[in-house]
A and B are shown apart, each in its own frame.
Chain A
Amino acid sequence: MNSPAATYDLGKLHGGLRLPAEKAAATATPIRDVPLPDQLVLPITQHAGKAAHPIVGIGERVLKGQLIAEAFGTLSAPVHASSSGKIVAIEPWPVSRRRGDNAPCIVIDCDGEDRAIELPDQIPPFHSLDPESLLQKILQGGIVGLGGAVFPTGQKLMQAATMPLDYLILNGVECEPYISCDDLLMREQASLVLGGAQILMHALRLGKCYVVIESDKPEAIQAIGEALATLDDNRITLKQIPTIYPSGGEDQLVQLVTNREVPSGGLPTDVGCVVQNVGTAAAIYRWICEGEPLISRVTTVTGPGVNSSMNVSVRIGTTVADVISFAGGYTENADQLVIGGPMCGKSVTTDRVPVVKATNCILVLNEKNAATVEQSCIRCGECAIVCPIQLLPQQLFWYACADNESKLRSYGLTDCIECGCCDLVCPSHISLTASFRNAKARIHEQADEKARAERARRRFESRNERLEFEKQTREMELALQKKQAKSAGPSAIEEILERQRQKQDKED
């Protein structure tokens, strides 16, 4: 039943590309441990939402697994110390993020002892916890989506728990070239992944889980298949999907597995699905069943610019430079450092950036052969053919150049997942994805600007109203006083004058 045989009763994904995998070099060896570095750099925003609040001071000693920054505000996640040592700084540090190049980080000088905080003697089995407290617990583990989106898992699950759900989908697709950390994780820690799946199903009261793996990972498929056979949990099914980029996108995977389209601007939970990366599932297992918060992850170090490609298990906060030197250092032609894959990754200017929860791949590329010159769009439509969202990139590009916001919206700019397929097939070498990213940022800014202007306008109007109201009240009071004075007649005036005289006499 849970055999690794191909299950192809799938929905259809539009477009996509078959890309050269480039994964052989890094998958040839098992996961290796990067030795503990001298210094750890832990950003307080390693997740999608608000920054966590540091709760330690400079000079304080911390232990491995100790909470050092707690979740604060929407979509925030806590940060734990990855090893024991002394806090030496809380300061801005170069990081790889979607926006901005620097972020406040907690810097720990490691003492090399790697002493962990004391665990409770007995960790209760997860079955004994009710789903609500299980979700609360997951929230505290600092666990975020390890596939790259780094959405705090606890919040994601809590939102999901409020929706009617059908499936838990574990994402082991890993469709981007070069990246193989999930592949290796599934090969070596399949039981942890499946254990995580069981915890998730319990927490969400779900009775159906698909573990989805691309067909180019036969070893991972076999490992998960064997672990499933041992586990004998017939709620979990292994599903194999064809190797097409970008099948591993959350919404794309839901569409492939269930044939349901995630509504624009919505979430997979809108169509009854929760998607979790396999690495996240393993991290949840470690936290819930072994008490270890998210302080390390598996990362692929690869590309033509590093001497030996491999997958490493690395403490969160280790700098990329440390990881690269563990992997034999740079080659002579190393020209570009990318955090993430070659399609969706982000290039960084320095290897001082730390490995964070989101870092699934450290990719070093060689010099580009020739600088590609952008030519005019010839409307060949190849971009539309490969777009998994069925957008018309060439039209979007046209409107992005014209900065036509309403057209950009109606042609679905906000639905673009920035997978980069259109860039690859464009014969005119137009940087479509970058132009969409910029257009999105512009629209975002304009919306912010608008909201600010709107707030200012409202403030101004309410002030005017207030002033008007005060003026009217004053006038009314004045009129009332005059009226009273009139109706009281001359005797009243006499009285007032008399009172004033008396007052003056007293003062004299």
Chain B
Amino acid sequence: MEFEKRDAPFVAPTTNVASMMLHVLYALIPAALAYVWYFGSGFVFNLIIAGIFCIAGESLMLRLRGRPVEATLADYSVLVTAALLTFAMPALTPWWVTATAALFATVVAKHLYGGLGYNLFNPAMVGYVVVLIAFPMDMNLWTAPRMGDIDYQFMTIAQTARFTLTGSLPDYLTFDAISRATPLDIVKAGLNDMRTFEELRAYPMMGDFGGRGWEWIGNFTAIGGAWLLVKKIIRWQIPFGVLMGLLIPSSLMYFLVPGVHPSPGFHLFSGGTILCAFFIATDPVSAATSEKGRLIYGFGIGFLIYAIREWGSYADGVAFAVLLMNLAVPTIDYLTKPHIVGHPIKRRGAR
């Protein structure tokens, strides 16, 4: 009997990119529900717009590059970009802002660098930073979370949809009436005003650790992240590195110079820390590859988040921290090549 010749191994691979990306999307569901609960239906509209424009940008670029469009879209990586982008946006964002971010993420950050696998920077973070700089006012329009005792303005689905499509509020509402400083903003401004952290914690917005609503979104994000860890879609090194990079300096400062520094708990649960640790920094394409390298990469991101929050002019620094560490990846990879079994162990400084 005659047979065809193939290459070993003859065992089918156990995973595929599409299933990895789908896992990431599933893991974001609890956080998305929490987000919608606290900040309203705007999240859903943003997600739809980000999804449409990310797919459009990706399809366009795939066609221009002469790559198979449908097969590549089916790896779902573009939907992960859209989802992460949506989490970074305020719930009330006009569509053109989201669209700009989505197109910049896919067209420039992803495909001009060669597509999935070759992009140096995390596409979602590039898209976010572009609109953060281009549309600063829109990007600061955070509403108050839906919590019983906080004075918040609840917008109906129709009103939210209208805002997303036109950028205008109902006649009886003004931007000032609905926008609220985020806990990170409050702490940053308050500490600059010579108030102590303990004083600031008494604000109704502040909650237990990272701000009302925000900390719950953080919890639900962590549930999804833990599930990804269990499923081995992500490995522990990057999340651990990010959290340590943030917690070690913030704990040191909090306990050594009490009063004028936010607590490590606040850093952990406010802003995008948890999302960054489990979902953004863990994007494999733009992260370091070796186990040791990933610890360093994660730690660098955590530390930069801390540095930007503490000493920078932005209230949160996740996107900048991730992009800066993306730049450091080739060097980290080069310096953390693992010891090959059977090779002599190089001593430091030995040539």
Contact = CB atoms under 8 A, between A and B. Distances in A.
A330 interface: yes
B343 A343 contact: no
B115 A376 contact: yes
- Mostly, the B contact residues are loop
Given A336-B4, A424-B14, A376 B118 contact: yes
Interface in A247-267: 251, 255, 261-266
Interface stretch (B160-168, B253-261, B268-276, B286-294): B286-294
B287 A379 contact: yes
B16 A429 contact: yes
A135 to B, nearest CB: 27
B124 to A, nearest CB: 15
Interface residues of B, number: 43
Given A344-B9, A373-B71, A385 B115 contact: no
B302 to A, nearest CB: 19
A120 to B, nearest CB: 44
A377 B117 contact: yes
A350 B16 contact: no
B10 A347 contact: yes
Interface stretch (B36-44, B92-100, B334-342): B334-342
Interface in A393-441: 394-395, 411-412, 415, 418, 420, 423-429, 431, 433-434, 437
Contacts of B235: 381, 385
A349 interface: yes
A427 B13 contact: yes
Nearest to A348: B3
A365 B8 CA distance: 12
Given A377-B117, A379-B289, A427-B15, A350 B340 contact: no
A384 B340 contact: no
A415 B8 contact: no
B310 interface: no
Contacts of A266: 342
Nearest to B116: A376
> For chain A, which range describes its interface: under 10, 10 to 19, 20 to 34, or 35 or more residues?
35 or more
B193 interface: no
B5 interface: yes
A384 B341 contact: no
A388 B338 CA distance: 12
A88 interface: no
Interface string B246-266: 000000000000000000000
Interface of B: 1-17, 19-20, 71, 75, 77, 115-118, 235, 284-285, 287, 289-291, 294, 333, 337-344
22 contacts: A251-B342, A255-B341, A262-B342, A336-B6, A343-B8, A347-B5, A348-B5, A349-B4, A376-B116, A377-B117, A378-B116, A378-B285, A379-B117, A384-B338, A390-B338, A390-B341, A425-B14, A426-B13, A427-B16, A427-B17, A429-B16, A433-B8
Given A251-B341, A384-B290, 6 more contacts: A261-B342, A347-B10, A380-B20, A390-B338, A390-B341, A412-B343
